[in-house]
Amino acid sequence: MMKKRNFIILVTLCILVFGAIIATNMLAEPSLSQAVSESEEQNDISAANQQLEEPDETLSPAEPEKEPFKVVIDPGHGGEDPGAEGASGSYEKDFTLAVSLKVARLLEDVPEVEAHLTRDKDIFLSSETRDRPNFANELEADLFISIHANTFADPTVTGTETFYYHDNSLGLATIIHRHVAQATGFRDRGVTQENFFVLRDTTMPAALLEIGYLTNPEDERVMLTETFQQSVAEAIVEGIKEYLGL
């Protein structure tokens, strides 16, 4: 009888021990459904990180940055070549340089345009060696604009005139002339085709602007003012921007 009771006690203790072991393992290990859920969550996180790290091949590649338009501004005459002499004794070379420098400064604020001057001081550029058109051609410029002031024996003659030579320059000459003629307020003498070497020998669209007549005393007085020159410079820049579609 004693042996039977001891056997029952022993069996009971074994059952309790095994039950405790099983309960401990159930608490320590996640359920199958929990393990599957955690695995799926890890997979989602990994996929999301991979999408962030890898570029989307469906996106279009960035367009290459466009090179700025090269615009040559040519102040007429210079150095030993003074150009026209005004009614008060002023020189065309000084007027053209003053306006051209203002145009170049204004173009600095146009990021799509790169301005180049054939001269930025009072120096002589030879017409025999074609310094001006050669400068623009070697630069592979997109536009060439030569700035001048006119002269005539009759001091009452007035007006703004623009010249071109090649057919592909007519559009540029027409657009810039419209802006400049409006800015000067002088008589509009129109756009004319002319065989000037700076227009003929350049390989890009080119225009030559005769802003006004320095030999007209009233026109000269206005043309030598800072206000007038700034207004003309702004008009030239607006014409350039319109022609280039900026």
Exactly one of 67, 85, 161, 210 is catalytic; which is it? 210
Between the alpha carbon of residue 148 and those of residues 140, 165, 208, the distances in Å are: 23, 16, 7
> Exposure of 103 by Cβ count < 10 A (0-12 exposed, 13-18 middle, 19+ buried)?
buried
Annotation says 114 is catalytic: no
Q: How far apart (Å, rounded) are the C-alpha atoms in residues 211 and 224?
A: 12
Please answer whether residues 173 and 163 qualify as being in contact, where contact means their C-beta atoms are separated by less than 8 angstroms.
yes
Tokens (6 digits) for 226: 């800072």
Q: Nearest Cα to 98, choosing from 76, 129, 72?
A: 76
Number of H helices, E strands in the chain: 8, 6
Bridge-based pairing of strands 160-164 and 206-213 is: antiparallel
Q: Catalytic amino acids?
A: 210
